[in-house]
Structure 1
Amino acid sequence: MAIFLASVARDLLFKMLQIDPEKRISIDEAVRHPYVNLWFRDEEWNVPLPENRYDANNDLIDLPISSWKELLFKEVKRCEEEHSSKNTNSDIINNSK
């Protein structure tokens, strides 16, 4: 259970703001710190990178606004379909507990 005390918050900030990187808290240590570990879920942390990573070169393409809107709409629909096939309402409810 997380402890929401000012002293615990200060401890986390002190560890995160160390100038010397050797003394600074790691990301793995930070997410397990008592102040934030309430929100830490190991199954969300240790996941593979997505296959369809963002390609910044797409930002350089010169398209009319209507084409950008269409591309965005298609991508949103693709994501909705992908996630709806993986999750059911019961999965979402059970994972939020």
Structure 2
Amino acid sequence: MTVVDVNFHIIESVPDFHEVISSALGFPDCYGQDEESFFNCLMKVTGNITVNILNYNSVDRTVFYDIAVYILMMFEHQERTKHTFNVRLYFLENSLDVPFRT
């Protein structure tokens, strides 16, 4: 299983989110950084993968709501793939002490 940590402490804007998530999930260079592109690229993510979204509550509220639709799409993808793609959402202040890391 592949585990990908996405730390929201470094995300200050929607473009930051797109840059971080596209790199973490291996989206192609032509990724358009919009909802349709995100959905299309996400549907191509295969294999047993878990995305840990860390420090979600550290994002500025205006960005928080703009990013929420993308997080929801990831949870919907989790259901479509019968949990071979997993999303875990954490509201942590210290992501270095996450107990599931091995």
TM value normalised by structure 2: 0.26
Normalising by the residue count of structure 1, what TM-score does the alignment of the two structures yield?
0.27
- Give the number of the structure whose residues are more often helix, by fraction: 1
**Larger RCO (alpha carbons 8 Å, 6+ apart):** 2
Between structure 1 and structure 2, the one with the greater Rg is: 1
